[in-house]
C-alpha cells in the first residue's frame, strides 16, 4: 500500500528534550535505506482515534516497492501498515473499542458505516485514511470503531503471527480468492508465490477449490504452497506457463485466476490462464500494468481487484485462526527484533525470506 510521509522528525538537538514522547521505528530515507530512527510517539489527534501498543510487526511485499525506489520516496517516511496489539488509549468519540482490548485492523482505516463500507468495500470508504508507521512499538489508528476488530480475549503468543497475518496478507489473499469467484470444485491458478499468493492458496482451499495450481519456481515457497493446499505446481512463466495451464485443464483454462504480484508479466499471465467466462482477480499494487482493451474484449474474462477490503473478512478470519482451522502465520519464515528492521528488508528484497516478522 502507499505510504505518505508524516510523523517523522529529526532527532532533537538536545537529547533530553521530550524523551518520553519519542520512540524508535522504521523510517525509509531513500532507495534501500531503511533505518531504525527516532520518531514522534503517536498520540490521539482526532476524537475517533485509538493508540495501540503493537504485539508484533512485519514487513509487507508492497513495502519493497518504495524500498527498491520503484515508487518514489521524497521525504523520510515511517514504514509499516500491518498491525495487531493492545489498545492503550482511545479518543472521546470512540465507543466500541476499549483500552486493554487486543485488536486487529487493516491498512486503510474506514468508518464501516458509509455506503461503500456497507457494501463490503471498506478500502473505498468515503472517509478512508491510510494507517502508517506500524513498524514501531506504538501506532495511531484513525476511525478506531470502524477499523479495529477486537478478539474475545488477549491471545496467547503463539497465535500472534497468524493474527498479524490477518491484518493484510491473509485478508488480501482471501479477497483474491473471493474476487475471483472461487467456488467448491473450482480449478484455481495462483500467480505469485509471495506471502499474499501463498495465502491466496490457503483461501482457495478454505473455499473448497478442487484443484489449486501454484505458479512458483522456488522450492521453499512450493513446499509452503503445498502445505496450504496447492495440488499442482507450475514452474513455467509467460507463454510457457499459460501453455502448461491449458494442458492441465484439457485446453480450457482455469475458471479462477488470482494475480498476486502487480507486474505487467503477472497480469498478462493471469489473463492468459483464464478460461472464457472465467474470473481474474488482481490484488498486487499494479506497477506499469497496461491492458489492451481489444485483446481483453475477445477474452471474455471478468476482472475484479483493488486494495483488498480486509476489514470485511476480519471477523471470519479471526474465528478461523482462533479455532486453529488455519495457520497463516507460517508465511513468516524470518523473525528479527524490530531494531534489525533493515536486515528484514534486505532478506525480503533478495528473496531470502518470504516475510519478516519483527519482534517488539
Ligand atoms: Zn466507509
For residue range 54-83, list pLDDT tens digits in order.
999 999 999 999 999 887 777 899 999 999
- Give the separation between CA 300 and CA 278, rounded to whole angstroms: 7
Distance 132 CA to ligand 1 centre (A): 18
Rounded to the nearest whole angstrom, what is the distance from the C-alpha of residue 141 to the centroid of ligand 1? 15
What is the arithmetic mean of pLDDT over 134-160?
97
Residue 34, CA distances (Å) to 22, 28, 43, 78, 336 in order = 18, 4, 23, 9, 15
Question: 115 CA distance to ligand 1 centroid (A)?
Answer: 6
- Paired residues of 188 in beta bridges: 212, 256
d(C-alpha 53, C-alpha 286), whole Å: 32
* Mean pLDDT to the nearest integer, 186-215: 98
Distance from residue 112's CA to the centre of ligand 1 (Å) = 5
Whether the per-residue pLDDT at 17 is higher than 60: the answer is: no
- Residue pair 160/235 in contact (Cβ under 8 Å)? The answer is no
Check if the beta carbon of residue 59 is closer than 8 Å to that of residue 34: no
Rounded to whole angstroms, how far apart are CA atoms 68 and 31?
Answer: 5
Ligand 1 geometric centre to CA of 197 (Å): 27
Whole-number Å distance, alpha carbon 52 to ligand 1 midpoint, is 21
Distance CA 127, CA 114 (A): 8
For residue range 281-327, list pLDDT tens digits in order: 999 889 999 999 998 999 999 999 999 999 999 999 999 999 999 99
pLDDT digits (tens, 9 = 90+) for 237-296: 999 999 999 999 999 999 999 999 999 999 999 999 999 999 999 998 899 999 999 989
Mean pLDDT of 116-144: 98
By three-state DSSP, how is residue 208 classified? coil
The sign one gets for the Cα dihedral 37, 140, 305, 231 is: positive
pLDDT value of residue 9: 45
Tell me the chain's radius of gyration from C-alpha atoms: 20
Alpha-carbon separation of residue 30 from 22, 76, 133, 192, 198 (angstroms): 22, 7, 16, 26, 29
pLDDT, the chain, mean: 93
> What angle, 0 to 180 degrees and rounded to 10, lies between the N-to-C axes of helices 169-179 and 195-206?
50
pTM for this entry: 0.93
pLDDT at 20: 55
Ligand 1: centre distance to CA 307 (Å) = 14
What lies within 8 Å, CB to CB, of 160 at 6+ separation is 55, 56, 84, 329
Angle, nearest 10°, between helix axes 238-248 and 264-273?
20
CA of 317 to the centre of ligand 1 (A): 20
Pairing of strands 187-191, 211-215: parallel
Distance 211 CA to ligand 1 centre (A): 36
Long-range contacts of 289-292 (CB under 8 A, 24+ apart): 289/262, 289/263, 289/264, 290/264, 291/267
Q: Burial, 333: exposed, middle or buried (Cβ in 10 Å; 0-12, 13-18, 19+)?
A: middle
Q: Of the ranges 4-8, 108-112, 127-131, which one carries the lowest mean pLDDT score? A: 4-8
Task: Give the HSE-up count for residue 334: Cα atoms under 13 Å, Cβ half-sphere.
Answer: 23
Distance in Å, CA 110 to ligand 1 centroid? 5
Distance 233 CA to ligand 1 centre (A): 39
Q: Is the pLDDT of residue 118 over 80?
A: yes
DSSP state letters, 36-55 = EEEEEPP---STT-EEEEEE
Amino acid at each position: 500500500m502507499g505510504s505518505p510521509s508524516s510523523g517523522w522528525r529529526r532527532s532533537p538537538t538536545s537529547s533530553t528534550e521530550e524523551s518520553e514522547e519519542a520512540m524508535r521505528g522504521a523510517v525509509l530515507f531513500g532507495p534501500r535505506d531503511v533505518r531504525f530512527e527516532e520518531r514522534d510517539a503517536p498520540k490521539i489527534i482526532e476524537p475517533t482515534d485509538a493508540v495501540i501498543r503493537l504485539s508484533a510487526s512485519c514487513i509487507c511485499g508492497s513495502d519493497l516497492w518504495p524500498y527498491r525506489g520503484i515508487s518514489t520516496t521524497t521525504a523520510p517516511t515511517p514504514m509499516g501498515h500491518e498491525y495487531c496489539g493492545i489498545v492503550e488509549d482511545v479518543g472521546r468519540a470512540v465507543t466500541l473499542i476499549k483500552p486493554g482490548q487486543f485488536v486487529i485492523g487493516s491498512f486503510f482505516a474506514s468508518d464501516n458505516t458509509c455506503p461503500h463500507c456497507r457494501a463490503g468495500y471498506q478500502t473505498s470508504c468515503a472517509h478512508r485514511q491510510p494507517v502508517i508507521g506500524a513498524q514501531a512499538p506504538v501506532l495511531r489508528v484513525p476511525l478506531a470503531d470502524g477499523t479495529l476488530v477486537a478478539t474475545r480475549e488477549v491471545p496467547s503468543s503463539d497465535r500472534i503471527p497468524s493474527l498479524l497475518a490477518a491484518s493484510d496478507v491473509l485478508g488480501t489473499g482471501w479477497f483474491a480468492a473471493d474476487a475471483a469467484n472461487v467456488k467448491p470444485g473450482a480449478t484455481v491458478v495462483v500467480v505469485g508465490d509471495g506471502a499474499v499468493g501463498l495465502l491466496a492458496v490457503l483461501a482457495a482451499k478454505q473455499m473448497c477449490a478442487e484443484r489449486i495450481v501454484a505458479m512458483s519456481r522456488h522450492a521453499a515457497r512450493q513446499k509452503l504452497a503445498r502445505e496450504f493446499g496447492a495440488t499442482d505446481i507450475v514452474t513455467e512463466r509467460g507463454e510457457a506457463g499459460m501453455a502448461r495451464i491449458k494442458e492441465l485443464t484439457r485446453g480450457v483454462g482455469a475458471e479462477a485466476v488470482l494475480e498476486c504480484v502487480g507486474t505487467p508479466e503477472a497480469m498478462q499471465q493471469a489473463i492468459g490462464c483464464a478460461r472464457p467466462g472465467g474470473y481474474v482477480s488482481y490484488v498486487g499494487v499494479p506497477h506499469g500494468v497496461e491492458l489492451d482493451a481489444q485483446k481483453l474484449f475477445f477474452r471474455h474474462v471478468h476482472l475484479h481487484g483493488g486494495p483488498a477490503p480486509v476489514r470485511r473478512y476480519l471477523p471470519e478470519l479471526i474465528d478461523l485462526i482462533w479455532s486453529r482451522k488455519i495457520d497463516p502465520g507460517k508465511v513468516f519464515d524470518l523473525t528479527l527484533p524490530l531494531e534489525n528492521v533493515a536486515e528484514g528488508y534486505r532478506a525480503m528484497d533478495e528473496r531470502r525470506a518470504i516475510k519478516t516478522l519483527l519482534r517488539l
